C-alpha cells in the first residue's frame, strides 16, 4: 500500500513538473490529485526538496528503462537513436508535456542543489546511453560522445519550440537529421 501511494505521488508530481516546472506543485496539489491528505504526502516525502529528488530519480529510471539497452536494440534490428527520438516525441505528443528534466534544467539556478544533482544525473545517464548507441552503430568514442550531446541538445530544443508553437511537425522536421 505504501509503495502504491508513493508511486501515485511521484506520478502526480512528475505530471505537474512537466507542465509547469518545480514551482508548479505543492504538497496540497499532489494530495488533491492523488486523493489523500497533505500530511500523507509528508509521510512519504518530508520536504519538497526530498520529493523533487525522488521524482527526478523516478523519471530518469522510468525513461531509461523504457528505452532498453542500445546494443540489444540493434541486435533486434531497432535503431537505438530512432527509439530515443521516438521516446521524446511520445513525451510531447502523448503526454502533452516537456521532458521533465529539460524543464527542471531550465530552472536549475533556482533549485535546491540536491535536485540539481539528480537533473545532472539524468543528463549524464542519457548522454552515456546515447554514446553507447552511437558506439554500437560504429562511431568512435570521441565522435559518439559529441553526437550524444548534439542529439540531446537538439531534442530538448526541438521539444521546447514545438511545444511553444503547438506544432508537432516542428519536432519532426528538427529531429529528422538524427534519423537519417
Domain extent for 167: 48-179
**Gap between the Cα atoms of 15 and 1, Å rounded:** 21
How does pLDDT run across 49-84, given as a tens digit for each residue? 999 999 999 999 999 999 999 999 999 999 999 999
Task: Tell me, yes or no, whether 34 lies in a domain.
Answer: no
At 19 the pLDDT is 86
Question: Domain with 141 in it: what CATH number?
Answer: 1.10.357.10
Reported pTM = 0.92
CA pair distance 119, 127, nearest whole angstrom: 12
Count of structural domains within the chain? 1
Residue 73 in any domain: the answer is yes
93-141 pLDDT, tens digit each: 886 778 999 999 999 999 999 999 999 999 999 999 999 999 998 999 9
Amino acid at each position: 500500500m505504501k509503495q502504491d501511494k508513493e508511486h501515485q505521488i511521484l506520478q502526480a508530481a512528475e505530471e505537474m513538473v512537466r507542465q509547469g516546472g518545480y514551482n508548479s506543485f505543492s504538497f496540497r496539489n499532489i494530495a488533491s490529485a492523488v486523493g489523500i491528505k497533505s500530511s500523507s504526502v509528508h509521510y512519504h516525502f518530508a520536504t519538497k526538496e526530498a520529493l523533487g529528488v525522488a521524482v527526478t530519480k523516478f523519471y530518469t529510471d522510468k525513461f531509461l528503462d523504457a528505452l532498453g539497452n542500445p546494443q540489444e536494440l540493434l541486435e533486434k534490428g531497432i535503431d537505438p537513436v530512432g527509439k530515443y527520438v521516438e521516446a521524446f516525441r511520445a513525451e510531447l505528443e502523448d503526454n502533452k508535456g516537456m521532458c521533465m528534466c529539460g524543464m527542471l534544467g531550465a530552472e536549475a539556478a533556482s533549485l535546491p542543489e540536491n535536485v540539481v544533482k539528480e537533473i545532472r544525473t539524468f543528463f549524464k545517464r542519457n548522454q552515456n546511453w546515447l554514446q553507447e548507441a552511437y558506439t554500437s552503430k560504429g562511431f568512435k568514442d570521441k565522435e559518439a560522445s559529441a553526437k550524444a550531446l548534439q542529439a540531446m541538445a537538439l531534442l530538448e530544443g526541438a521539444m521546447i519550440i514545438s511545444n511553444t508553437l503547438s506544432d508537432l511537425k516542428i519536432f519532426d522536421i528538427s529531429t529528422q537529421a538524427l534519423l537519417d
